[in-house]
Amino acid sequence: MAELQFREALLEAIDEEMGRDESVFIMGEEVAEYNGAYKVTEGLLDKYGFKRVIDTPISELGFAGIGVGAAMNGLRPIVEFMTFNFAVLAADQIINHASKVRYMLGGQASCPIVFRGPNASAGQLGATHSVAYDSMYAHFPGLSVIYPSEPDDAKGLLKSAIRNDDAVIFMESEQMYGLKGEVSEEDDYLIPIGKGKIKREGSDVTVVATGKMYHIVKQAAAEMAKDGVEMEIIDPRTIKPLDIDLIVESVKKTNRCVIVDEAHPFGGLASEVGFLIQREAFDYLDAPVRRVTLPDVNAPFSKPLFDLWLPDAKQVVEAVNAVTYRT
């Protein structure tokens, strides 16, 4: 195992895949000469040149669409968005084209493309730079949605995403690029898309969280352990396909569940997982499933309001106390 920053793990994945397949290229704002807004693409221009590491104008719709066309015509583009908040401008290409073109042409074309970049909030960035879009993309048939929490997951899943023959949304976090973690040094390290991971074993309550929320849950778990409550943390890693079997299996053991989701409450990962648990493990539940999400309010700028808005370890502890009837 090697200790890598999240960004270094992503870079290794991209570098290895570009090295093994000439059809892989990366484009996005500031990815080449600037070496990446968050330094994920650092050094790639020197290594692979201007043909395969391409700076784009601030034209999300345009370059996402060029990516889709290039993917249909034999290439494997990695399209970097500086944030998924900007990808909203490219939604027509992702939702109406990348996810649908194969089906509507009766299987005549395919679209092996990765759209990647940071998702969700990253401090006081205001309402338009703070949205978690994973559940929104997971709504659409044809897309895979990955939102890893640790460098090891990031490397193995990004490599799989680049090799995937269909469109993949790969989400990161500005606040996690510097996060360090042990990364497998296995040759050609691939993690299958759609497989979750038990990140902490415990017998008292199942807590589901991915991406940045995993780290908040981890803090809460350390706190609760002092009180003798053992949380089992499940990181689905991919929102879609969702490893619901792993979650259900854990709930059958702990009989209680909390889902922590950095999205607004309506129709997100939390509500979907909650629904599936009540259907698949109804007789195993000792308490109603709880969720911790953002409120149905836009991201505020002001620090005290922002802290109130974002889910934190305290809210997770409260939810765990509620489902274990400790309050």
Partner 1 sequence: MAKKEQEAVFTPVGINTSNNSKVEKSVDLPEPTKKTHKQLGLSDDEVLEMFEQMYLQRRFEERAMQMYQKGKFGGFLHLYIGQEAVSTGTVFALNDDDDIITAYRDHGWGLVRGVTPKEGMAELFGKAAGCSKGKGGSMHFANVEQHFWGGYGIVGGHIPIGAGLAFANKYQDNGRISTCFFGDGAVDQGALHETLNMSQLWKLPCVFIVENNGYSMGTATRRHTVGEIHERAKGYGMKSAVFNGMDALTVYENMKNIAKEVREDKMPWFVEIRTYRYRGHSMSDPQKYRSKEELEEYQKTDPIERMKSYILDKKIAKKADIEEIENKVEDEVLEAVEFADETPFPEPEALYEDMFAGEPHFHDKK
190 binds partner 1 (CB under 8 A): no
Among 32, 70, 191, 320, binds partner 1 (CB under 8 A): 70
Cα(253)–Cα(278) distance, rounded to whole angstroms?
Answer: 15
72 binds partner 1 (CB under 8 A): yes
51 binds partner 1 (CB under 8 A): yes
Annotation says 129 is catalytic: yes
74 binds partner 1 (CB under 8 A): yes
Among 28, 36, 112, 117, binds partner 1 (CB under 8 A): 112
Indicate the residue among 75 and 125 with the shorter CB distance to partner 1. 75
From the list 12, 60, 174, 272, the catalytic residue is: 60
33 binds partner 1 (CB under 8 A): no
Annotation says 264 is catalytic: no
228 binds partner 1 (CB under 8 A): no
Distance in Å, CB of 260 to partner 1, minimum: 20
Distance in Å, CB of 259 to partner 1, minimum: 16
Q: Binders of partner 1: how many residues, by CB under 8 A?
A: 49
104 binds partner 1 (CB under 8 A): yes
Cα(283)–Cα(249) distance, rounded to whole angstroms?
Answer: 13
Indicate the residue among 56 and 254 with the shorter CB distance to partner 1. 56
Distance in Å, CB of 216 to partner 1, minimum: 26
**Cβ contacts of 257 within 8 Å, gap of 6 or more:** 205, 206, 207, 208, 247, 251, 273, 274, 277, 285, 289, 290, 323
Indicate the residue among 96 and 203 with the shorter CB distance to partner 1. 96
166 binds partner 1 (CB under 8 A): yes
Residues 283-322, interacting with partner 1 (CB under 8 A) = none
Among 33, 141, 226, 283, binds partner 1 (CB under 8 A): 141
**Cβ contacts of 283 within 8 Å, gap of 6 or more:** none
Distance in Å, CB of 147 to partner 1, minimum: 16
Distance in Å, CB of 108 to partner 1, minimum: 4
Q: Which residues bind partner 1 (CB under 8 A)?
A: 25, 51, 54, 56-57, 59, 61-75, 92-93, 96-97, 101-112, 138, 141-142, 144, 164-166, 194, 240-242, 276
Q: Which residues are catalytic?
A: 60, 129
